[in-house]
């Protein structure tokens, strides 16, 4: 059975919005290795529409991204969207119930299902108790405003810290799993 892993860049005040605008100064080889290992341990990318569109506009034409870029391009992608009918870049739009589709993906054999960004999708998966692991790369910056990963509509859930990985840049990768599992 596959696990659904949510991987997010977040600020100290919980903002996940537009990490390209604030995460760059903290990037390091350690962070790169963490993301590399995470991607190569995954067999499917699960993305919300906005994240998918951003990735699909950038990744297919990027050069010099090495094996990470090739993996990003080649992995099958499932897109949660109520407005898209079709998707390119080795992607399929999920039809019908997103929680049901993700539950079916979890039952398949293979490597884990990885979610990048995709705040609205993550909230849907949280509400349906489909997330097996949260990997939060916490950046040493406070933005004060922006879309937060855990917003006012999130239901209470207890998590168990299973790994901590500090990077020399001040970023800390925290891995949590739901406590009831």
> pLDDT-based confidence at 24, cuts 50/70/90?
very high
pLDDT above 70 as % of the chain: 98
Closest CA to 79 of 67, 95, 63: 95
Q: What is the DSSP string of 49-111?
A: HHHHHHHHHHGGG--S-HHHHHHHHHS-EEEE-SS-S---SSEEEPPS-HHHHHHHHHHSSSS
Q: What is the pLDDT of residue 95?
A: 86
Q: What is the pLDDT of residues 36-66, one digit of tens each?
A: 999 999 999 999 999 999 999 988 888 888 8
Contact between residue 176 and residue 159 where contact means Cβ atoms under 8 Å apart: yes
Q: Which domains does the chain have, with CATH numbers?
A: 4-178 (3.40.430.10)
Q: Is 138 exposed, middle or buried (0-12, 13-18, 19+ CB in 10 A)?
A: middle
Average pLDDT over residues 66-83: 93
Considering the chain, what is the average pLDDT of its residues? 93
Q: What is the pLDDT of residue 154?
A: 67
Q: For tokens 């034409």, what's the residue?
A: 61
Sign of the Cα torsion 6, 8, 11, 17 reads negative
Q: What is the pLDDT of residues 121-156, one digit of tens each?
A: 999 999 999 999 999 999 999 999 999 988 766 678
Pairing label, strands 112-116, 91-93? unpaired
Give the count of beta carbons closer than 10 Å to the beta carbon of residue 80.
24
Q: Which two tokens stand for residue 88?
A: 């390119």
For the ranges 16-20, 106-110, 155-159, the lowest mean pLDDT is seen at: 155-159
């Amino acid at each position: 059975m596959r696990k659904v892993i949510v991987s997010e860049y977040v600020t100290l005040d919980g903002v996940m919005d537009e990490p390209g605008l604030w995460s760059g100064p903290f990037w390091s080889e350690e962070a790169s290795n963490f993301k590399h290992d995470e991607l190569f341990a995954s067999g499917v990318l699960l993305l919300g529409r906005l994240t998918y569109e951003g990735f699909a506009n950038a990744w297919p034409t990027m050069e010099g991204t090495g094996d990470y870029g090739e993996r990003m391009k080649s992995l099958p992608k499932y897109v949660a969207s109520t407005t898209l009918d079709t998707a390119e870049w080795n992607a399929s739009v999920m039809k019908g119930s997103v929680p049901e589709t993700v539950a079916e993906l979890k039952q398949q054999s293979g490597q884990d299902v990885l979610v990048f960004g995709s705040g609205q999708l993550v909230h849907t998966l949280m509400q349906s108790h489909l997330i097996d692991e949260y990997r939060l790369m916490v950046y040493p910056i406070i933005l004060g405003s922006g879309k937060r990963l855990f917003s006012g509509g999130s239901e209470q859930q207890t998590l168990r810290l299973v790994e901590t990985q500090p990077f020399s840049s001040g970023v800390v990768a925290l891995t949590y799993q739901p406590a009831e599992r």
